[in-house]
Amino acid sequence: TPEVVLVRSNEGLGGMSRIFHRLFLDHLIAPLPDWAKVNPPVLLNSWEAKYFDVNHANIVDMAKQASRIGVDLIVIDDGWFGARNDDTTSLGDWKENFSKFPLGLNAVAKEVNSYGCRLGLWFEPEMVSEQSVR
């Protein structure tokens, strides 16, 4: 059954709008959970700076520089996995590229963490390249 919510005000459209918003905030929507009251992290994504040319050294350097201006999270974008050096292959090969990250991504994460940042990884789960490893 459809429902209707009506409000009235002697203070014109602005007053009616404020009453309507207050009604929704106080009675019709659930209170915000604690996690929603926390400021979202400031993140730096590697894509525009490095494109597919990501590696251990340049990601750690990004974290070192970014931590100085309050960045909380470094996201390694496309190129951290498989043989991904361009956009023709390896989507779906979600295993770290040891040529780019010889010590593995855990080592990168530890160094990034040492600068007070967290590490994130970009994925594109809705896409798989024809030549991806099966």
| CA–CA–CA angle 55, 59, 62 (5° rounding) | 145
Q: Which amino acid is at 23?
A: L
pLDDT tens column, 9-61: 999 999 999 999 999 888 888 888 888 888 889 999 999 999 999 999 999 99
* CATH 3.30.750 domain extents, the chain: 39-121
Which CATH number is associated with domain 39-121? 3.30.750
pLDDT tens column, 88-122: 889 989 999 999 999 999 999 999 999 999 999 99
Q: Which of 82, 71, 83, 74 has the alpha carbon at shortest distance from 50?
A: 74
Q: Which pLDDT band holds residue 85 (cuts at 50, 70, 90)?
A: very high
pTM: 0.73
Q: Which of 43, 69, 57, 66 has the alpha carbon at shortest distance from 122?
A: 43
